[in-house]
Amino acid sequence: MRVAVAENAATDDVTVELLLRDPVELVRLAGATNLAGRPALQAVVAHSDEKWMRAILAHTFARDDDRGLPYDVQILLSEDDFWETRQRIAETTAYAEIFEQLLLDADARVRGRCAANPRITLEQMERLVNDRSWIVRASAAGSGCRYPDDGQLLRLASDRSAGVRWAVVFRPDRPRAALELIAEDTDADNRDHARRALRDEHAIMSEQVIEWAREERRRADRIAPFIGAPR
């Protein structure tokens, strides 16, 4: 029952704050999912000792391009000890300063997730495409919305890491030339899947996945660019 109350958008702030301190973890986590439009409670959770509450908070506006967490909360979460919290801010932040900081994060999983931010520029994506970690390059190949562009994907199709080339194969909007390169790959799995995709795209991915990728590109085309820090 308390979980349902904690998740209910109609629950008042005082009650949600009480549930964020509940002795049962599941209740506290449920409350952390219900913080949109509650800036005071967002600040409370940003200072929480519980890493998963902070990570859930960072994901609050993951699919809402018109809203975001307050700047000071995002700053806190972008410096969080938990890599998954920083990763989620990398994907969603609209602030240029915060995004640039996360592009330089020591954890490859965080840098790689920057590729999923629909505001990323071509130059910023180029840095991910050339990153020292194959994890970042694979994430760039597989997670980008508007970018990487065809030229970058062609280079990733010849990447030294089989994992990066695999990510290119399963990117719905990669150029056919990238598949043709990987169809001659030294890695048997990459080679086989690229050849199957050349014969029939739907042999390796569903129409729903392809349409989702198209919508992500349209989303990136609609979204406003990064903004500066509030004054």
> Using an 8 Å Cβ cutoff, are 175 and 153 in contact?
yes
Q: What is the pLDDT of residue 8?
A: 87
Domain ranges of the chain: 1-105, 108-224
Percent of the chain that is helix, strand, coil (3-state, to 5): 60, 0, 35
Place of tokens 């994506």: 125
Q: What is the pLDDT of residue 189?
A: 98
As a whole number of angstroms, the distance between CA 20 and CA 50 comes to 11
- How would residue 3 be classed by pLDDT, with cut points 50, 70 and 90? very high
Q: What is the mean pLDDT of residues 161-172?
A: 98
Mean of the per-residue pLDDT values for the chain?
A: 95
Judged against a pLDDT cut of 90, whether residue 32 lies above it is answered with: yes
What whole-number percentage of the chain has pLDDT above 70? Answer: 100
Q: What is the pLDDT of residue 1?
A: 84
Q: What is the pLDDT of residue 179?
A: 98
Q: What is the pLDDT of residue 146?
A: 87
Q: pLDDT tens across 175-210, in order?
A: 999 999 999 999 999 999 999 999 999 999 999 999
Judged against a pLDDT cut of 90, whether residue 140 lies above it is answered with: yes
Buried b (16+ CB within 10 A) or exposed e, 162-183: bebbbbbbebbebbeebbebbb
In sequence order, the 6+-apart residues with CB closer than 8 A to the CB of 220 are 118, 119, 145, 146
Judged against a pLDDT cut of 90, whether residue 66 lies above it is answered with: no
pTM greater than 0.75: yes
As a whole number of angstroms, the distance between CA 182 and CA 187 comes to 9
In sequence order, the 6+-apart residues with CB closer than 8 A to the CB of 164 are 134, 137, 138, 141, 156
Judged against a pLDDT cut of 90, whether residue 65 lies above it is answered with: no
Judged against a pLDDT cut of 90, whether residue 144 lies above it is answered with: no
Q: Cα angle at 29 between 25 and 32, to 5 degrees?
A: 145
Three-class SS of residue 95?
strand
CA dihedral 111, 114, 120, 121 (to 10 degrees): 20
Rounded to an integer, what is the distance from CA 76 to the centroid of its chain?
18
- How would residue 113 be classed by pLDDT, with cut points 50, 70 and 90? very high
Q: What is the mean pLDDT of residues 10-32?
A: 93
